[in-house]
Amino acid sequence: MYGMPCRIHSHTHRSEIRSWLSMWYQCTMVPMNDKYLVERVQTGVRLEKRLLKVLKGLAEYHEMTLGNLLEGIVLHAFDGKCPFQAESLARIRDLKKFYGLNLDSRASHRMIEGRRVPGARRGK
């Protein structure tokens, strides 16, 4: 990555090229020491307000960022696995009660946007 040559010079041997390409491939495409090099992007995603509060509470409980929590949830879902163990599921139930979140998976694809009250404050 940094400090690697930008161009391969004509006097570079094929074995050096293979070695260099192998290093590049390992740094960008496959895990190294159980770590993955990724590129994250900022996104503006709209979520149901109480659902977001529960997610933020759960992220705080696990001392992780909301983005890391969402990445973990999605990667588990893509593998067809539940991302949470019993302790986290209990915490989610508590957070749902606290924030008044009465939605579950049956609400997926059935939520409609409520009307904003004129003059209502945005944000908190």
Residues 6 or more apart whose CB falls under 8 angstroms from that of 92 comprise: 54, 58, 84
What tens digit of pLDDT does each residue of 86-95 get?
A: 999 999 999 9
Write down the number of H helices and E strands in the chain. Answer: 4, 0
Lowest mean pLDDT among 15-24, 66-75, 113-122: 15-24
Same domain for 34 and 61, yes or no, is no
Residue 15 belongs to domain spanning: 1-39
Between 116 and 61, residue with greater pLDDT:
61
Instruction: Report yes or no on 9 lying in a domain.
Output: yes
Same domain, 27 and 59: no
28 and 66 part of one domain: no
| 54 and 100 assigned to the same domain | yes
Other C-beta atoms closer than 10 Å to the C-beta of 58 total 19
Over range 44-72, report the average pLDDT: 96
Is 33 inside any structural domain?
yes
What's the total number of domains in the chain? 2
Same domain, residue pair 20 and 1: yes
CB burial of residue 54 (10 Å; 0-12, 13-18, 19+): buried
Cα 23 to Cα 81: distance, rounded to the nearest angstrom: 33
Contact 20, 8 (CB under 8 A): yes
Answer whether 0.85 is exceeded by the pTM: no
How confident is the prediction for the chain on average, in pLDDT?
80
